[in-house]
Every structure is written in C-alpha cells, then in structure tokens.
Amino acid sequence: MKFGVVVVGVGRAGSVRIRDLRNPHASSAFLNLIGFVSSGVLSLDFCFQRQFLQAGKHVLVEYPMTLSLTAAQELWSLAEQKGKVMHEEHVELLMEEFAFLKKEVVGKELLKGSLHFTAGPLAEEQFGFPAFSGISRLTWLVCLFGELSLVSATLEERKEDQYMKMTVHLKTENKCLLSWIEEKGPGLKRNRYLSFHFKSGSLENVPNVGVNKNIFLKDQNIFVQKLLGQVSEQELAAEKKRILHCLGLAEEIQKLCRPEK
C-alpha cells in the first residue's frame, strides 16, 4: 500500500521532509511524494489541516498543531470522526539529549528543576506566542516529570531591541517546582541550560551525547506505523493526552502573560 503525500510549507522542516521522502528509506516505500506547496503562514495551518481532514486525508503536522487548545480538540475530533491519523511531530523527543535525560531521571525523586532556552529573535507573528513556539521545551518537562500545573508566568519584552524573556513556574503532581525560561534576542546563541535537583543528587546540563541523526525520518517512521495500524490505542491515547495537556498549559501561560484588556 502506498500513501500519496503533499508537503505544505518548504522551510527547514518541509525541505527535510521532501528529502527523506525522495530517498529510499524503509518508511518512504509506503509514501509517494506527489508535490509540495509553499506556505509559511502559521494562521493558515489550522485551515489546511481542517481542509485535509475534511477531505478524508491523514495529516502529519509540525508542532504546535494549533495556537489554541479548542482548535486542537476540534481537529482531533474531526480526525476521529473521519477515521484518519492526526500526527503532531515532536522531533525533540527523538533527540539524543532527551534519550539521555529520560534514562537519568528514571526512579529519581525530583526536588526542583529549571530549563532555560536561549536563541536569536523570533517573530511572534510568524511563530506564535513563546509558550507555543517553545512548546518542545514544555513537552520535555511533561515527558520527564508528568503532567504539570501552572503557578505563575511573566513576560518581559523590549520590542525595539527584539528582546523577550518569558519566565514560567510550574508544579509537578508531587508539588515540586520547575521553572521554564524562554529568552530570545540579538546575540543570544541557541542553547539549553538544564538544572535538575533530585534527592539523590543533581544534574547540571547534558554532556555531549552525539549528533541527532535523521530525527525527521524517525518521526516519519512513527507516522507510517500509525498509518499501518501498528501503534496501540493506548499509546495513541497517551500521546493525544500529552499533546493537549501541553497546548492547554501554553494557552494558560499566554493568558497570564497577556491578559485580555
């Protein structure tokens, strides 16, 4: 069985997708690249996804799938109603650093922790509010420590300097505090600073654990497994729950940082 594929958006992720589809990988044997469409407007993504699902097509979307929890729930309901796969890419969970962290935290009791991400300026109009554009960091925290609740969130902005800093405080189900900071501005290098304190010791940043190879291809493999019915209902339900939980948190953070006038 071969599934025809159209790639919408030919930025960094779209270009890698096209390359992987054209190369003779195991999962690519089930996919046939029909064409691609230039996009790049985030607000159109929800419309495209809805149109494709409405037309009875499976959808693979880069994160965040939407910029609101309600919109994501609508899309998932539509996918379920149509009996189609709705897959949100999370390549950050396929990275070597995450695999290392996952092993490190197993069986350890967290006391407190922080994740601070820095990078150059990012246009909010194009990529959404920082809690959404940075949702991969939030996903790391949820996957490592379970569902989280929001304690506080603040946003410092200097638009004339293209600078912003979002500081979020979260709480685990065991009442341990986690802080998540997204800081972007000219001169800031792309970096992740981690600090997790456990009863049994501390973890400060991740050592060099090797190059992340073919993470988009690994994600494509997962998508194909879903198309072929090789992923259990329990796994699909757990993934959906996690994705909606993260989108719900991102929305709460945005409301705290930008209260409606």
pLDDT score for 39: 65
Catalytic, 252? Answer no
Out of 27, 28, 136, 242, the active site residue is 136
Catalytic, 136? Answer yes
Residue 261's pLDDT band (cuts 50, 70, 90): very low
Query: Which is more confidently placed, 86 or 37?
Result: 86
What is the average per-residue pLDDT within 77-105? 94
What's the CA gap between 36 and 8, in Å, rounded? 6
Whole-model pTM over 0.75 = yes
The predicted-structure confidence for 31-55, as pLDDT tens digits, reads as follows 999 988 876 555 556 777 888 999 9
Instruction: Write the CA distances from 187 to 16, 45, 207, integer angstroms.
Output: 27, 30, 24
| φ and ψ at residue 162, rounded to 5 degrees | 55, 35
- Pair type for strands 163-172 and 110-119: unpaired
Residue 210's pLDDT band (cuts 50, 70, 90): confident
| φ and ψ at residue 208, rounded to 5 degrees | -70, 110
Instruction: Write the CA distances from 168 to 20, 111, 125, 152, 204, integer angstroms.
Output: 36, 17, 21, 6, 19
Catalytic, 109? Answer no
Amino acid at 180: W
Out of 17, 27, 28, 63, the active site residue is 63
Output the average pLDDT for the chain: 92
The predicted-structure confidence for 168-199, as pLDDT tens digits, reads as follows 999 999 999 999 999 999 999 999 999 999 99
Residue 207 has pLDDT above 90, yes or no: no
The answer to whether 137 and 101 are in contact (CB under 8 A) is: no
Residue numbers in the known binding site are 10-13, 63, 245-246, 257
pLDDT score for 211: 78
Catalytic, 160? Answer no
- Closest by CA to 72, choosing from 80, 64, 60, is 64
Residue 13 has pLDDT above 90, yes or no: no
Out of 89, 97, 182, 251, the active site residue is 89
The predicted-structure confidence for 124-183, as pLDDT tens digits, reads as follows 887 889 999 999 999 999 999 999 999 999 999 999 999 999 999 999 999 999 999 999
Residue numbers in the known binding site for NADP(+) are 10-13, 63
Catalytic, 62? Answer yes
Residue numbers in the known binding site for Zn(2+) are 245-246, 257
Share of the chain above pLDDT 70, in %: 97
